[in-house]
């Protein structure tokens, strides 16, 4: 049976995905190697891009780390001896209507800048009620006032966002103290089933964005990449995606020709 093409395994070998093409292969046929990649220009002014109890709270019913989220290929299911299935590398999930909000204000923003707040929001994979209404905005630190900026209605999951001039948001005066230039963001979800929120991001720029930029993960501090940056990283790859790592002078592959011209023309010698 050929490898790849998402074909079922013919024996009891464990399957995994190639991290370049995404096809399923037997793990014994995958190798770990270095590949050249690019870190795209991006920024995130939120300390945590995923749920963290010290930064984000939610008043819906807590269902635990049971959702696959936006990257199902990174999650795994585990079956215990008593036939209990658990999700490994799952995403935090809630059920019923609720408000997901930041407990920490964002960094101060220049009033003349545009703020883009975005997140991935979706229904759990086995939800029988995937239709949901999701509103985004900012709120007052004492949870007394919520200023909605946009309402999304969709089925399944998608990236939701809004873009607004910072001075407009600051005019609501909802910061942790009068005159604050930071914001408390919130996401209100109306759904009868289970849902998740992940990949939260705040971007700031001189012009309004038509859509959010490249997502940048944060795990405790704001982060930014000012320019596209080439780098090398480790990936698990299949035989079709495996490439030898060359020196920079050989990055386009090896050749039979020498890298420089011979200093003198070679010629046959007679004796």
pLDDT band at 184, cuts 50/70/90?
very high
Q: Are residues 138 and 167 in the same domain?
A: yes
Domain carrying residue 161: 47-227
CB atoms within 10 A of CB 164: 17
Same domain, 11 and 68: no
CA atoms within 13 A on the CB side of 16: 15
> CA torsion angle for 6, 7, 8, 11 (degrees, to 10)?
-120
Terminal alpha carbon distance of the chain = 60
81-90, 203-212, 248-257: range with lowest mean pLDDT: 248-257
pLDDT tens per residue, range 24-69: 888 888 988 887 778 888 999 999 999 999 999 999 999 999 999 9
Strands (DSSP E) contained in the chain are: 15-17, 24-26, 31-39, 42-44, 56-58, 61-67, 76-79, 85-88, 91-95, 98-102, 114-123, 131-139, 146-155, 157-165, 185-190, 194-205, 223-225, 229-237
> Does residue 254 sit within a domain?
no
| Cα–Cα distance for residue pair 144/237, rounded to 1 Å | 51
Q: In total, how many domains does the chain have?
A: 2
| Calpha distance 66→148 (Å, rounded) | 29
Task: Look at residue 269 and tell me if it is in a domain.
Answer: no
Say which residues have a Cβ less than 8 Å from residue 113's Cβ, sequence separation at least 6.
165, 166, 204, 205, 206
Neighbours of 148 (CB within 10 A): 13
Look up residue 44 and give its two tokens: 């995130």
Question: Using an 8 Å Cβ cutoff, are 60 and 51 in contact?
Answer: no
Same domain, 117 and 170: yes
Q: How far is CA 270 from CA 217, 253, 267, in A?
A: 68, 37, 10
Note whether 145 and 30 are same-domain residues: no
* Same-domain check for residues 16 and 146: no
75: which 2 tokens?
A: 């999650």
Question: How many whole angstroms separate alpha carbon 67 and alpha carbon 50?
Answer: 13
Q: Are 55 and 202 in contact (CB under 8 A)?
A: no
Same domain, 134 and 156: yes
On whether both 114 and 236 belong to a single domain, the answer is no
One domain, residues 145 and 71 = yes
Do 33 and 115 share a domain, yes or no? no
In a domain, 265, yes or no: no
- Tell whether 181 and 88 lie within a shared domain: yes
Dist CA 110 CA 45 (whole Å): 13
In a domain, 255, yes or no: no
163: its two tokens: 């873009």
For residues 194 and 127, the answer to whether their CB atoms sit within 8 Å is: yes
> Does the pLDDT at position 140 exceed 80?
yes
Confidence of residue 77 (pLDDT cuts 50, 70, 90): confident
pLDDT in tens, 141-167: 899 999 999 999 999 999 999 999 999
Instruction: Locate 152 and state its tokens.
Output: 């999304």
CATH of the domain at 170: 2.60.120
């Amino acid at each position: 049976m050929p490898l790849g093409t998402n074909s079922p395994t013919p024996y009891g070998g464990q399957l995994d995905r190639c991290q370049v093409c995404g096809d399923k292969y037997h793990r014994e046929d995958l190798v770990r190697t270095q590949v050249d990649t690019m870190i795209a220009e991006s920024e995130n002014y939120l300390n945590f891009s995923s749920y963290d109890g010290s930064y984000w709270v939610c008043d819906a019913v807590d269902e635990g780390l049971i959702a696959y989220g936006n990257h199902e290929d990174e999650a795994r299911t585990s079956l215990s001896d008593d036939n209990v299935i658990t999700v490994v590398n799952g995403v935090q999930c809630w059920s019923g209507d609720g408000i997901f909000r930041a407990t920490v204000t964002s960094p101060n923003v220049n009033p003349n800048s545009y703020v883009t707040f975005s997140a991935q929001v979706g229904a759990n994979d086995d939800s029988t009620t995937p239709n949901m209404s999701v509103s985004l905005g900012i709120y007052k630190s004492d949870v007394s006032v919520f200023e909605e900026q946009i309402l999304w209605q969709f089925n399944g999951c998608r990236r939701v966002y809004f873009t607004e001039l910072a001075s407009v948001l600051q005019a609501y005066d909802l910061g942790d103290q009068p005159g604050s230039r930071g914001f408390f963001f919130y996401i209100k979800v109306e759904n009868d089933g289970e849902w998740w929120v992940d990949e939260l991001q705040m971007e700031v720029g001189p012009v309004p964005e038509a859509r959010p930029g490249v997502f940048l993960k944060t795990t405790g501090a704001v982060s930014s990449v000012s320019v596209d940056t080439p780098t090398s990283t480790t990936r698990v790859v299949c035989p079709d995606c495996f490439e030898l790592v060359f020196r920079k002078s050989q990055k386009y592959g090896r050749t039979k020709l020498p890298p420089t011209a011979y200093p003198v023309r070679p010629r046959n010698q007679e004796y």
